[in-house]
Structure 1
Amino acid sequence: MKIPVIRAFDDVDHDPIKDWIPEDPYDIDICIRFSIGPSDEMGIDYFDGHFITKNYEEEYASYLQPRYFLIERYSLPVILEMVTLFIETCSRPDWEQTAQAIGKRLSWEYEGYHSSN
């Protein structure tokens, strides 16, 4: 089984994300890029996670993509725990299957890619 782990994360709008404090933690729309790879290998793939608060969801519901995580308020430790718990449920026999399972909630960089071979 390939057990996925978060190796790194960032957000281009809030760099460094670890130091960012929003004006209103209850009105958030943020995308975080996660570097996730199998625990027994060095490689990673990129997955983008979309996190919004209830206030934001109510105001912009008609514009939202269907794949997002709803959070009560912005808290990076809570987001990291949420994603860690989710990806732990995605272990599969090989990395491609694992990445596809993760891609059900996080946008995978290779989503929809088909090899020409």
Structure 2
Amino acid sequence: MKALLKELRSLEIEDDLNSYWPESPESFGSWIRAMIGPDNEEGAEYFDMLICTPKWLQGELVKNDVLLGKGMIIMDEYDYDKIRAFIEKQITACHADNWSSIAEKLSRISFWEYEDYQFYPSR
């Protein structure tokens, strides 16, 4: 089974990411949501990531002293094409026999909407 990036959007920027350009591309940080699902089925699940630059991170460290790094994609400056290509490359590397295994692998580089969700059998 293979996964496919079906949509990519920001959780903070209202503009379409493909046409968006920040005022300061070398000091950029925003949460994005990748909608990823099986390539041969409708639907997708949410995987959230923080796209940021080292300069933006430095500013956040001044405010917060310590930051966690899970789900971060760090790049020199904002570039939608590079972001999309990187995410698609990561998705291509996550193949398995079933969707659950793929999603679990993708959750290593992002925050999956069902991460830590426990399914309980009905009684």
- The TM-score normalised by the length of structure 2 is 0.87
Q: CA 1:20–1:63 in structure 2 vs 1: closer, same or farther (change >3 Å)?
A: farther
- After superposition, give the CA deviation of every residue in 1:42-87 in whole Å (9 maximum; x if it has no partner): 1211111111101122332444322111111001111000100111
Residue 116 of structure 1 is matched in structure 2 by 120
Task: State the alpha-carbon separation in 2 of the partners of residues 53 and 30 from structure 1.
Answer: 10
Residue 98 of structure 2 is matched in structure 1 by 94
Residue 41 of structure 2 is matched in structure 1 by 41
Aligned CA-pair RMSD: 1.3
**Where do 4+ consecutive residues of structure 1 move more than 6 Å?**
none
Task: State the alpha-carbon separation in 2 of the partners of residues 26 and 77 from structure 1.
Answer: 15
Matched, 1:74 2:73: no
Task: State the alpha-carbon separation in 2 of the partners of residues 14 and 50 from structure 1.
Answer: 13
Matched, 1:5 2:4: yes
User: Which structure has the greater CA radius of gyration?
Assistant: 2
Superposed, 1:52-71 pairs within 5 Å as: 52-61=52-61, 62-67=65-70, 68-71=72-75
Aligned residue pair count: 116
Specify the SS of the correspondent of 1:19: coil
Task: State the alpha-carbon separation in 2 of the partners of residues 103 and 60 from structure 1.
Answer: 24
Query: What is the letter of the counterpart of residue 92 of structure 2?
Result: E
Identity %: 22
Task: State the alpha-carbon separation in 1 of the partners of residues 98 and 35 from structure 2.
Answer: 17
Query: What is the letter of the counterpart of residue 36 of structure 1?
Result: I
Query: What is the letter of the counterpart of residue 5 of structure 2?
Result: I
Query: What is the letter of the counterpart of residue 104 of structure 2?
Result: Q
- The TM-score normalised by the length of structure 1 is 0.91
Specify the SS of the correspondent of 1:18: coil
Specify the SS of the correspondent of 2:32: strand
